[in-house]
Amino acid sequence: MKAPIVVAWIPEQWEEVLPTLQAALGEMEWRIFSHMQQAQSFLEKGILEGLEFFLFLAPVPEGKVFLEEALRRWPLAYGLGLATDASYTEKGAPYFLVPLHTEAPVLTSYLQELRHRYLERQERERQQQILSELHRVSLSLTGEVRLERLIFKLLKIALENSEAESAFLVVPHEGHLEKLQVVGYAERHHREPQHYPPRPVESEDRLFLPLLLHGARMRENLFVSDQTPTGFLHHHPDWDRLQAHTILVLPLIYQGRLIGIVYIHNPLPELQSQPHKMEFLKLFTAPAAIALQNAQLYAEMEARVRERTQEVIRQKEEIERQSTLLRQQNEDILASLRYAQRVQRAIFPPWGELQKTLPDSFLFYQPREIVGGDFYWFAQRLSKVIVAAGDCTGHGIPGAFMTIIANTLLKQIVELEGVFKPSEILYLLNLRMRAALQHEEEMYQRFREGMELALVQIDPKRHKLLYAGAGRPLFLVRSGKGEEIRPDRITIGAPYEGDAPEFSLHTLDLEKGDMIYLFSDGFSDQFNAEGKKYQLRRFYEFLEIISEQSSRQQAILLESELQRWMGNARQTDDILVVGIRVP
């Protein structure tokens, strides 16, 4: 990973502050210029080379134009204006003002916080890449029912993501774990499947059998290298014979059963120190197991059809039975893929599109795990904008599963069917969420999926707002005073008797400068190190305090307040806050 780039315009007479700045930011790539024209020329070069910048530094007010132009071109970067006059202020600046002679510890703490946020954002982007790749891989595998082609695809995916030279697929023979056999082999340079007759693992002398058998028994991922302190494995005679510097064993588990094992010979030595690659390989085993199970069933069906060609009636019955089983397996694959895809943020609408209509708005989204059950959504028709903030049951993968369904249904109701009144949207969403969940009744009874949602229609030109809520309120702040609009106590997708419940519609008159907040319960329910909740009352009070700040500053203040409250405590739930200022 490349070091973040800092572009600093520091006049020669101020060079004494550079050691403090550089020490605070650690390993950064610094580009320091003593004249503004030099810094601007470098920015032009950065555009052509596609560079990404972390921080822009310049004296103010002299460097005001430089900072504003830099942040316009790189809106995800941060700006820091060093003011020689401690009394200098500037309203609405897209950068932060810090007196030049601020005490070193204060300045250091401030810069380290900016660096921490930047690195966190980079990590989230890497996670999104993993999820997007997993989604692509899952679709590729589940679309292949020919066993030979599927095995080759599966092994090639494993090789590409581990940068290994060769890989094997091992499966239990006729379901017996004590009878493992090798059914596939691929090398990195292969472009087509190679003929590989199934054989017992004992007859394949390119396998390190002790590690393979241990992985089959324990059903856990194993990574062994020359540097791994495994003791007895390195003293086994086969280790030196195979010259296996590194070995990766990935069991494929489906519904609690061992479907197969991917055995990777000499993967990338640095793989264990690259968590995102190891994470992808672990996640990839879930859709791989499902696809392999389905392909095996499909192959069995074809074999039985060939064997019973002469038995016309029994052949028809068998085909129908196997077809039913195949359709059921396909449904299981689709249900499991909703968990495995985990490309939740890839389907969220780009926040920048909302800011084109409502420029002074912010999104503070911090799931507890890589993905979560909180989500936002918006759509636009003429001058009206629909914005939703939802909180689905659970967090992590189960929560993400629900957000994909909710996002799809909202898009269908609003964008395709043209329903734009919040109460009607929630009514239809409730009906269709129930209908969607009933297709998987057993899973529904186990997890009891549901969703709370706050949904508003904003008309900036007429200064009108329509709101409907299912368990999630709306908080409106005007001139520093807040008002809570309470929701209906209805959970989207929850069971009900009789007619489907209807939702209340609230109509509000807006004024220029009003702040509208939609949020999940993650912030107010967060515990601190002493086991105390933040609580909704304190959350409302904090929103009133920060409501006059710019949206960008509000998001930073929310994050700082959350970190202050949590201390060393673990985040307990997904957190989502959407803030919109009425233009």
CA atoms of 503 and 424, how far apart (whole Å)? 8
- pLDDT by residue (tens digit) across 485-516? 999 999 998 877 778 899 999 999 999 999 99
Using the predicted structure, report yes or no on whether residue 344 has a pLDDT greater than 70: no
Shared domain check, 350 and 336: no
Examine residue 132 and state whether it is found in any structural domain, yes or no: no
**Each residue of 101-129: pLDDT tens digit?**
766 677 777 777 777 777 777 777 777 77
| Whether residue 182 is found in the same domain as residue 257 | yes
- Which is higher by pLDDT, 551 or 345? 551
Q: Are residues 267 and 390 in the same domain?
A: no
| Predicted pLDDT at 540 | 96
- Whether residue 457 has pLDDT greater than 70: yes
**Residue 560 is inside which H or E element, if any?**
helix 551-566
Length of the chain: 583
Count the helix, strand and coil residues of the chain and give each as a percent rounded to the nearest 5.
Answer: 45, 25, 30
Structural domain includes residue 193:
yes
**Of 283, 316, 341, which closes a domain?**
341
Is 134 part of any domain? no
Question: Which domain-ending residue is among 307, 341, 375?
Answer: 341
What is the domain count for the chain? 3
* Nearest in space to 447 (alpha carbons), one of 489, 407, 493: 493
Q: Examine the domain organization and report whether 507 and 437 are in the same domain.
A: yes
**Residue 513 is part of a domain; what is its CATH number?**
3.60.40.10
Same domain for 366 and 337?
no
pTM of this structure: 0.44
**In this structure, is residue 139 part of a structural domain?**
no
Whether the ω angle into residue 501 lies within 30 degrees of 0, i.e. cis, is: no
The predicted structure's pLDDT at residue 519: 96
Q: How far apart are CA 143 and CA 307, in angstroms?
A: 26
- To the nearest whole number, what is the mean pLDDT of the chain? 83
Query: Do residues 201 and 57 share a domain?
Result: no
More confident residue, 26 or 511: 511
Residues 309 and 167 in one domain: yes
Query: In this structure, is residue 499 part of a structural domain?
Result: yes
- Kindly state whether residue 138 falls inside one of the protein's structural domains: no
pLDDT value for 438: 63
556's tokens: 């930073």
Q: Is the pLDDT of residue 13 over 80?
A: no
Is residue 103 domain-shared with residue 164, that is, in the same domain? no
249 belongs to a structural domain: yes
Do 521 and 576 share a domain, yes or no?
yes
Q: Given 341, 370, 389, which residue is the final one in a domain?
A: 341
Do 287 and 323 lie in one domain? The reply is yes
Average confidence (pLDDT) over 384-406: 82
**b/e map of 128-155 (b: 16 or more CB within 10 Å)?**
bebbebbbebbeebbebbebbebbbbbb
Which letter, b or e, does each residue of 514-552 get, where b requires 16 or more Cβ atoms within 10 Å of its Cβ?
bbbbbbbbbbbebbeeeeeebebeebbebbbebbeebbb
Q: Which CATH number do you get for residue 274?
A: 3.30.450.40
Answer yes or no: do 114 and 166 share one domain. no
Give the burial class of 199: count Cβ atoms within 10 A of its Cβ; 0-12 exposed, 13-18 middle, 19 or more buried.
Answer: exposed
177 found inside a domain? yes
What is the domain-level CATH number for residue 21?
Answer: 3.40.50.2300
- Residue 433 pLDDT exceeds 50: yes
Burial 33-64 (b: 16+ CB within 10 A, else e): beebeebbebbeebeeeebebbbbbbbbeebe
- The C-alpha angle 431, 372, 290, rounded to 5 degrees, equals 80
Of 454, 445, 442, 422, which Cα lies nearest the Cα of 495?
Answer: 445
Residue 576 and residue 524 share a domain = yes
Q: Which residues pair with 53 in a beta bridge?
A: 5
**Owning domain of residue 33:** 5-124
